[in-house]
């Protein structure tokens, strides 16, 4: 009897492990497959969660720019995170994206995008591509988006996700964003999603006249700074307190 129970338990463990490993195989973040494998009701649930996110987390907290709200209603945030985090994708919080990095809370993405005052004909630079979600929001609003990510694996994954979702106006490069992306400068807006301790001079240089940069500045805790470049001066305004991952200066083997 004891033996029988033990072998049943062993068999159940094997079946469970087999199920888990086939589930694990589905964890690879391939949005096209995720989309095609989702049932209609699941997609509808995500759409409903997205509508609620826009109403309660964004509009309810003072985000007013209709183009930002439309972009946040449009981009499928759940397709930018690993399958295991999809059910949390529309929650009011940042989420892990691997390599010790995070995708920002939806409100912060909307706040930064609104503060950058982007027009449809604008060229925008983002520093810190991460999973590519903020880049996709910018891609909905601006004409051209250039985004730099220092961790090669994240850059590659973001490139793949953005391609699969059809964002042809977004280019992702692997490198140190502190230096900007001189070849396409000047930029009408620059959004920085990793925190440096001071504002990188190359980014100020690559900002167009009348352009805006939105950047968290500080060590452990930061202030969100909105910088405006006019003909003859740079105006910096500290806005909300935030907490971002630090801006790294050198690529290392991840």
- Catalytic machinery residues: 104
Nearest CB to ligand SAH, comparing residues 23 and 254:
254
Using the rule CB under 6 A, is 79 a contact of ligand SAH?
no
Using the rule CB under 6 A, is 104 a contact of ligand SAH?
yes
Beta bridge pairs of residue 238: 225
Given the rule CB under 6 A, which of 16-24, 59-67, 122-130, 229-237 is the region that contacts ligand SAH? Answer: 122-130
- x/- site string to ligand SAH, residues 234 to 253, per CB under 6 A? -----------x-xx-----
Using the rule CB under 6 A, is 172 a contact of ligand SAH?
no
Six-digit token string for 1: 């009897």
Using the rule CB under 6 A, is 154 a contact of ligand SAH?
yes
Give least dist CB 96 to ligand SAH, A: 10
Tell me the number of residues near ligand SAH by CB under 6 A: 24
Q: Coil, helix or strand for 177?
A: helix
Six-digit token string for 182: 């001189």
Using the rule CB under 6 A, is 178 a contact of ligand SAH?
yes
Q: What is the DSSP-derived secondary structure letter of residue 147?
A: E
DSSP assignment of 182-236 equals GGG--EEEEEE-SB-SS--HHHHHTEEEEEEEEEEESSSSEEEEEEEE-SS-EEE
> CA-based Rg of the chain, rounded to a whole angstrom?
21
Distance, CA of 189 to CA of 123 (rounded, Å): 7
Using the rule CB under 6 A, is 193 a contact of ligand SAH?
yes
Query: Which residue has 């929001």 as its token pair?
Result: 137
Choice from 149, 180, 187, 215 touching ligand SAH (CB under 6 A): 149
Distance, CA of 168 to CA of 170 (rounded, Å): 6
Using the rule CB under 6 A, is 29 a contact of ligand SAH?
no
Binding site for ligand SAH (CB under 6 A): 97, 101-104, 127-128, 130-131, 133-134, 148-151, 154, 176-178, 193-194, 245, 247-248
């Amino acid at each position: 009897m004891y033996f029988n129970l033990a072998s049943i338990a062993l068999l159940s463990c094997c079946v469970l492990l087999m199920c888990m490993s086939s589930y694990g195989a589905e964890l690879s973040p391939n949005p096209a497959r995720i989309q095609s494998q989702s049932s209609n009701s699941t997609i509808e649930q995500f759409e409903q969660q997205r509508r609620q996110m826009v109403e309660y987390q964004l509009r309810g907290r003072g985000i007013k720019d209709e183009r930002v709200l439309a972009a946040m209603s449009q981009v499928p945030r759940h397709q930018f995170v690993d399958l295991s985090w999809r059910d949390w994708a529309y929650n009011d919080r940042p989420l892990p994206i691997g390599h010790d990095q995070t995708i920002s809370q939806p409100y912060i993405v909307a706040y930064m995008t609104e503060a950058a005052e982007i027009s449809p004909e604008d060229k925008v630079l983002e520093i810190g591509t991460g999973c590519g979600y903020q880049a996709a929001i910018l891609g909905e609003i601006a004409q051209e988006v250039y985004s730099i990510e220092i961790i090669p694996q994240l850059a590659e994954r973001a490139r793949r996700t953005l391609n699969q979702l059809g964002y042809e106006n977004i280019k992702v490069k692997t490198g140190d964003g502190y230096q900007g992306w001189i070849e396409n400068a000047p930029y009408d807006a620059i959004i920085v999603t990793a925190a440096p301790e001071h504002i990188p001079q190359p980014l100020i240089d690559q900002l167009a006249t009348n352009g805006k940069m939105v950047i968290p500045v500080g060590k452990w805790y930061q202030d969100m700074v909105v910088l405006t470049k006019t003909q003859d001066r740079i105006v910096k305004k500290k806005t909300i307190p935030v907490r971002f991952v630090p801006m790294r200066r050198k690529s290392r083997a991840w």
